[in-house]
Structure 1
Amino acid sequence: MKIDFVQLTKILQRLKANPFKIYPVITPHTGKIIEFKIKEGEEVKGPSGKWLEKPGTPLFVLEREKNPKLIRANYSGQAIGIRTDLLNKFVEAGEKILEIRHPLSQEEVIAEILLSALYIISAPETARYILTPELTRRVEKEGLGKTSVNEGEELLIMTFMKRETPIYLKEKGSFIIYQIYFKPFELIQTGSPLLGLCPVEDLPHLEKIIQRIKEEWSL
């Protein structure tokens, strides 16, 4: 496996041309929209604080069986596409009411690039995962971006219903563990990323791209 740096450059150019991500805001359940708290184009804030204890901006009120529920923003950005035509009307669960146009931060751009660049090991099942004890010790000692693994090496243990299943590196070659996307024993959904691995020979080139983003990205 080799990183496609030409493709990465194209992705970076696309993100520079349109440095935003659109997050839909949908109804959590059926109900009647009785009030909008924001207007088209208004800036909203997502949860904040060290523990995200400060709630996001109020967006609209959804009433169900005479119980009003305030729906708040989960992301910061600009509120667009507000469905004012739905005011005082009943809507189904999962109805898109508006979108939040979120400006990508430097960290978010790097995260997007890494998901495209790295060899991602994803969760084969909805279960809980841990690094193997040996790999945990090595990562703690050497650090992310420095710990190498090889084809056939046991990386993870999947635990589910008192069943433990080892997960091995199937890709040929040597890799550096660049990203860990989960917390030990956290319930992870099928298909979610667990580890991001970089081929050893590509590591200097990838780090140059990351440094370039840090120097050039102003948002």
Structure 2
Amino acid sequence: MYDDINFDEIINKYRSDPFHYLDVVTPHTGRVTFNVNEGQEVAGPSGKWNHHPGTLLYVLNRENNPKTMNSQTNGVVTSLRAELEGHFVEAGEKLMSIKHPLKKREIIEGILQNVLYLFRAPEKAKYFFSLDIQARIEKQGEKAVFIKPGEEIITMSLMKRDTPIYYAGEEGIIHSVYFKPGISVDQGVPLIGVCAREKLPLIQKIITHVKAEWS
């Protein structure tokens, strides 16, 4: 079925709009004070461990307890709801979007997510590879570790409690890793992309095609 992928159509879609739009929503109720303007460029976290926070987007004040909210990616502020300045908002209120310019690597990963088996985060938490998987990655290198259903592959850290996560999906090679150790991941977001051995030629075909066509 994947041999029928229309590469030209997919690439043209990215050419016409090579951006990812990240909605910025409030995590809880509070009064909003914006720190950015429409069209302003913002930066995401930086540093080896992303220990330097991104651009301050807004402050959410609840019961005299202000919470600063920083950008999680680089890009440009769009759809800023300036009319909410100084107003009390509910949890989940969209305040703005960040228009993030996609790099060639991100475009390739976006296309590959239509082909790989995506193993998703069961809960919002921090994730780490299990000691065995991490050791195999260090020994065999990336894109060389083969996993199968039932293996303990990841540790979920939530509320200071570590829980082993067992793989449930098609067996194959860990081709793509979408999480960073110790960084919180939302529920349902892909953690890894697994490629069955027989699909490896197709994956390479996609990568080669995009690299050749995308300037």
TM-score by length of 1: 0.71
Relative to structure 1, the CA distance from residue 5 to residue 122 in structure 2 (aligned partners, 3 Å threshold; closer, same or farther) is farther
Q: Which residue of 2 aligns with 1:21?
A: 20
Residue in structure 1 matching 2:151, options 156, 167, 170:
156
- Which residues of 2 match residues 1-219 of structure 1 at below 5 A? 2-33=1-32, 35-122=33-120, 142-146=140-144, 154=149, 156-157=151-152, 167=167, 175-180=172-177, 191-193=188-190, 195-218=192-215
Over residues 154-175 of structure 1, what are the superposed CA-to-partner deviations in whole Å (9 max), with x where a residue is unaligned? 562378999989656657xxx5
Distance in 2 of aligned mates of 1:36 and 1:124: 32
Read off the aligned partner of 1:179 and give its amino acid letter: S
Unaligned runs of 5+ in 1: none
Q: Which amino acid aligns with 2:107?
A: V
What is the CA distance between 1:18 and its match in structure 2? 1.0
Alpha carbons of structure 1 residues 164 and 139: separation in structure 2 relative to 1, 3 Å: closer
Equivalent residue of 2:118, what SS?
Answer: strand
Q: Secondary structure at the match of 2:114?
A: helix
RMSD after superposition: 3.8
* 1:146-191 deviations in Å (ceiling 9; x for gaps): 5667xxx5562378999989656657xxx54423556899998765
3-state SS of 1:38 partner = coil
Task: Kindly indicate whether the alpha-carbon contact (under 8 Å) linking 1:25 and 1:100 is maintained by their aligned counterparts in 2.
Answer: yes
| SS of match in other structure, 2:2 | coil
Determine if contact 1:3/1:202 at 8 Å carries over to the other structure: no
Mapped partners of 1:124, 1:206: distance in 2: 26
Q: Is the 8 A contact 1:123 1:191 kept in 2?
A: yes
**1:7 Cα deviation (Å)?**
4.4
Runs of 5+ consecutive residues of structure 2 not aligned to the other structure: none
The DSSP-based 3-state class of the residue aligned with 1:25 is strand
1:75 CA displacement: 1.4
Q: When the two structures are superposed, what TM-score results if normalisation uses the length of structure 2?
A: 0.72
